[in-house]
């Protein structure tokens, strides 16, 4: 070990933050780049424990997160798990105004819907002073709100599910949207705005019925999104089978790390006896 302490102290000042300045500015050895242009896109340092597990690759699909109702607090989680399949689209940018003493202050509100057309959809709404900021912020919020969408059949259970499993209704403000299962080939029978959301969700055929002031399209699109969230909340006879609880990812990997031998055991901890 070199004589670091004695030499360095005389070298630079005692001001805060400079105690180890010259040593600190060496190569970080962690593969990162410093200064100038920071490349934020590739460098994701997870803040939450779930983020750390996703980054390490211990969680491979969003379904594991949904199964334990873990809140997703970092949009990079969804990016990592859904990757390139996720598409986004700006539905509307509209100016909202606020009256101030010095005139009107205009901000832009962006509505963005993201989805992979295969059972995952998210909706983000963001207000900002600039259009670009609003769009980017809305994309991030939409990714944070990605939910699973349950699809089912209208009649015979042949092929892949193509419509909603049952009649569901969602509400936001005064707008209520009702989704009704439709036979194959019916297509999405809806107004232009909710049709986009339903396409991103991966629903192929559905009848819709709406009520209320659908002119407030912000509420309309949120009501449709709320409706899609409810598809997995509806108890149908095929869900009557009793739940076999499994360990949440945190518990699983805590136990994994606590064990001296690193064998991966995924156990079902409880089984409810009839």
Q: Is 58 in the site for other proteins (CB under 8 A)?
A: no
Q: Is 192 in the site for other proteins (CB under 8 A)?
A: yes
Q: Is 90 in the site for other proteins (CB under 8 A)?
A: yes
Q: Is 188 in the site for other proteins (CB under 8 A)?
A: no
Q: How far is the CB of 108 from other proteins (least distance, A)?
A: 9
Q: Among the candidate windows 163-171, 199-207, 215-223, 234-242, which touches other proteins by CB under 8 A?
A: 215-223
Q: Could you give the CA distance from residue 228 to residue 200 in angstroms, rounded to a whole number?
A: 11
Q: How far is the CB of 199 from other proteins (least distance, A)?
A: 17
Q: How far is the CB of 28 from other proteins (least distance, A)?
A: 6
Of positions 166, 186, 212, 216, contacts other proteins by CB under 8 A: 216
Of positions 257, 265, 266, 272, contacts other proteins by CB under 8 A: 257
Q: Is 183 in the site for other proteins (CB under 8 A)?
A: no
Q: Is 85 in the site for other proteins (CB under 8 A)?
A: no
Q: Is 106 in the site for other proteins (CB under 8 A)?
A: no
Q: Is 25 in the site for other proteins (CB under 8 A)?
A: yes
Of positions 10, 30, 104, 274, contacts other proteins by CB under 8 A: 30
Of positions 60, 63, 85, 94, contacts other proteins by CB under 8 A: 94
SS (H, E, C) the chain: CCCHHHHHHHHCCCCCCCCCHHHHCCCCCCCCCCCCCCCCCCCCCCCCHHHHHHHHCCCCCHHHHHHCCCCCCCHHHHHHHHHHHCEEEEEEEEEEEEEECCEEEEEEEEEEEEECCCCEEEEEEEEECCHHHHHHHHHHHHHHCCEECCCECCCCCCCCCCECCCCEEEEECCEEEEEEECCCCCCEECCHHHHHHHHHHCCCCEEEEEECCCCCHHHHHHHHHHHHHHHHHCCCHHHCCCCCCECCHHHHHHHHHHCCCCCCCCCECCCCCC
Residue closer to other proteins (CB basis): 123 or 168: 123
Residue closer to other proteins (CB basis): 8 or 118: 8
Q: Could you give the CA distance from residue 228 to residue 147 in angstroms, rounded to a whole number?
A: 8
Q: How far is the CB of 109 from other proteins (least distance, A)?
A: 6
Residue closer to other proteins (CB basis): 114 or 182: 114
């Amino acid at each position: 070990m070199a004589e670091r302490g004695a030499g360095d102290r005389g070298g630079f000042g005692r001001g805060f933050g400079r105690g180890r300045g010259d040593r600190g500015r060496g190569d970080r050895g962690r593969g990162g780049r410093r200064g100038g242009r920071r490349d934020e896109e590739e460098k994701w340092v997870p803040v939450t424990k779930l983020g750390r597990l996703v980054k390490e690759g211990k969680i491979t699909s969003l379904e594991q997160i949904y199964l334990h109702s873990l809140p997703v607090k970092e949009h990079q989680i969804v990016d990592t798990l859904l990757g390139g399949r996720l598409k986004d689209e700006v539905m509307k940018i509209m100016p909202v105004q606020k009256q101030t003493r010095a005139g009107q202050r205009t901000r832009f509100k962006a509505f963005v819907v993201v989805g992979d057309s295969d059972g995952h959809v998210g909706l983000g709404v963001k207000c900002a002073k600039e259009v670009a900021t609003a769009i980017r912020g809305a994309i991030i919020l939409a990714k944070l709100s990605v939910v699973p969408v349950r699809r089912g059949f209208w009649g015979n259970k042949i092929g892949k599910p193509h419509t909603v499993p049952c009649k569901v209704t969602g509400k936001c403000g005064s707008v209520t949207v009702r989704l009704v299962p439709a036979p194959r080939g019916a297509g999405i029978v809806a107004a232009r705005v909710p049709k986009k959301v339903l396409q991103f969700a991966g629903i192929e055929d559905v009848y819709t019925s709406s009520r209320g002031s659908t002119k407030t399209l912000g509420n309309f699109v949120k009501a449709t999104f709320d409706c899609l969230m409810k598809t997995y909340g509806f108890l149908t006879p095929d869900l009557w089978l009793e739940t076999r609880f499994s360990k949440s990812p945190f518990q699983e990997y805590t136990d994994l790390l606590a064990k001296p031998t690193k064998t991966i055991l995924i156990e079902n901890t409880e089984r409810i006896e009839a």
